[in-house]
Amino acid sequence: MPDLPDAALPLCASTELAESGKAHVFDVLLWRRPARAFALRFEGRVVAYLNRCAHVPTEMDWRPGEFLDDERRFIVCSMHGAVYEPTNGRCIAGPCAGARLMPVDVVERDGQVYWTPSADIRPVVFDNPA
């Protein structure tokens, strides 16, 4: 079982991510600016990426949380048609072939999925009105 990093934050229950199903979309800060990321289960493991095409920085989902093609084999950008390998985020076809999606570190443990912030991708912190 993978260790849970000290900085890991809860993302969703493992049961929310069906194999090759709808992704869990969540808000993050990329370089201190609002952005979205997504996590999905593919080939039995959870992967997560910034919801940002490597060709032009636009969100990629067809409908909220829908990133995979009709055959549920590849992540496809709804704007540019770029095709990505779900397991590693590498673009295998389209205008950004060879580029990669920006990964978000995730770990699954005890029925829960967690994500770990990085230097570039941080959690959104809401002010707590006192």
CATH of the domain at 100: 2.102.10.10
Q: Where would I find the H helices in the chain?
A: none
Domain that holds residue 81: 9-123
63, exposed or middle or buried, with CB in 10 Å at 0-12, 13-18, 19+? Answer: exposed
Q: How does pLDDT run across 109-122, given as a tens digit for each residue?
A: 999 999 999 999 99
Q: Is the pLDDT of residue 71 over 70?
A: yes
In this prediction, residue 125 has a pLDDT band, given cuts at 50, 70 and 90, of: confident
d(CA 5, CA 56): 32
Residue 3 domain-assigned? no
Running DSSP on this structure, what letter comes out for residue 101?
Answer: P
pLDDT class of 7 with cuts at 50, 70, 90? confident
* Amino acid residing at 79: M
Give domain status of residue 64, yes or no.
Answer: yes
What CA–CA distances, in Å, run from 84 to 81, 90, 92? 10, 5, 6
Number of domains composing the chain? 1
Structural domain contains residue 4: no
**Whether residue 130 has pLDDT greater than 60:** no
In this structure, is residue 94 part of a structural domain? yes
Q: Would 37 be classed as within a structural domain?
A: yes
Say if residue 127's pLDDT is above 80. Answer: no
CA dihedral 71, 77, 80, 82 (to 10 degrees): -70
Angle at 13 between CA 26 and CA 5, to 5 degrees: 75
pLDDT score, position 38 = 97
Q: How far apart are CA 42 and CA 17, in angstroms?
A: 9
pLDDT of residue 128: 60
Domain-located, residue 130: no
Residue 69 lies in a domain: yes
User: Residue 128 falls within a domain, yes or no?
Assistant: no
pLDDT at 105 exceeding the cut of 60 = yes
